[in-house]
Structure 1
Amino acid sequence: MSGAAQWARGGLSIGSVLDLLRPDFPDITISKIRFLESEGLICPERTPSGYRRFSVTDVERLKFVLTAQRDQYLPLKVIKEQLEAIDSGAATLGVREARARAHGTAAVAAPEFGATGTGRAHVVRPATELSAPRRLGVVPGEVSPDEFRVDHEIRMTRDDLLTQAGISDQFLTELIKAGLVTPGAAGYFDTEAVVLARTARALSEFGLEARHLRAFKLAADREAAMVAQIAAPIAKGRDADARARAEETVRELAALSLTLHTSLVKAAVRAALGG
Structure 2
Amino acid sequence: MTAHTPSTVEHSPVPGSRRAGEVRRRGDELLSIGAVLTFLRDDFPEVTISKIRFLEAEGLVEPQRTPSGYRKFSSADLDRLAYVLRMQRDHYLPLRVIREHLDAIERGEAPPALPAPDNRPGPLEEADRELVANPGGGVRLGRSELLAAAEAGEAELVEWESYGLVSAGPDGGYDGEALQVARLVAELGRFGLEPRHLRAMKAGAEREVALIDQVVAPLRRHRNPQTRAHAEATARELATLSVRLHAAMVQAGLRSRA
Q: TM-score band (shorter)?
A: 0.3 to 0.5
Mark the structure with the bigger radius of gyration. Answer: 1
**Superposition TM-score, scaled by structure 2 size:** 0.46
**Superposition TM-score, scaled by structure 1 size:** 0.43
